[in-house]
Amino acid sequence: MSGNGQGAGEADEALSAALADAPPQASAGDEAHRAYAAARADVDLLRTQVRLIGDALAARPAPPAERRPRGRRTALAWCLAAVVAGVAGIGGVVLARDAALGGDSAVGDAKRTLEGVVACASDIAEGTVREVTPTGEPGDLRVVMDVDRRLKPAGGAPRLAFTIHIDDDHDDVAPPPEPGSRVLVMVSVLPGEPVDLYEGAADIASARAWMEKALAASRGLPCESDTA
């Protein structure tokens, strides 16, 4: 009994640290680092699902602003209690999303799941930013990166170019990546869908973890728009 209580306490501590972006010190044991990495992956999954819920409830395409992990601490309070209490993990969030959409699983198309998001990705790549230049459109920047790791498609070109949008009207929008920065990006085939861009070793590792899992489950899934 005491062992179970101790394990739950350690899990709660790891979750709290992940939410605060406070990784264990280098002197902490391997178990602490593994628990933190697992908690970070869970938190990123929850944040992504919450964003998808918001997009679905808004009944409109996602706004043309890049979704970035830094500073993403909004809309999590309602689901955090469920996580700490051990309510079915990510499955609990999926159920909450379906309930918010009316409780009918038929309305939850592929685009509203992590697997569906990945199915709609043309490129999922990791590498180093080579250049960032204005496109001439307000807020739009063209990013070119040297790719050294591709999740989708397998193989692919060693260089990837995409456009991100920075909305200066919102204070919580992270600045664009700088040349030399290491990033993980997911580019959608859907028109107007913003690029998911992750920076920093911890954010990249946790995003890569859920993307790899969703990629395996997305094989054979069609790409469906929220508005389809």
Confidence band of 99 (pLDDT split at 50, 70, 90)? very low
Is the pLDDT confidence value at 83 over 60?
no
pLDDT per residue over 105-147, tens digit each? 333 444 468 898 999 999 999 999 999 999 999 889 999 999 9
Position 43 scores a pLDDT of: 79
The three state secondary structure string of the chain is: CHHHHHHHHHHHHHHHHHHCCCCCCCCCCHHHHHHHHHHHHHHHHHHHHHHHHHHHHHCCCCCCCCECCCCCCCCCHHHHHHHHCCCCHHHHHHHHHHHHCCCCHHHCCHHHCHHHHHHCEEEEEEEEEEEEEECCCCCEEEEEEEEEEEEECCCCCCEEEEEEECCCCCCCCCCCCCCCCEEEEEEECCCCCCCEEEECHHHHHHHHHHHHHHHHHHCCCCCCCCCC
Q: Does the structure show a pLDDT above 80 at 82?
A: no
Total-model pTM: 0.56
Instruction: Sketch out the chain's domains with CATH numbers.
Output: 2-109 (no CATH), 114-218 (2.40.50)
pLDDT at 163 over 90: yes
pLDDT beyond 70 at 103:
no
Residue 29: pLDDT band (50, 70, 90) is: confident
205 or 174: which carries more pLDDT confidence? Answer: 205
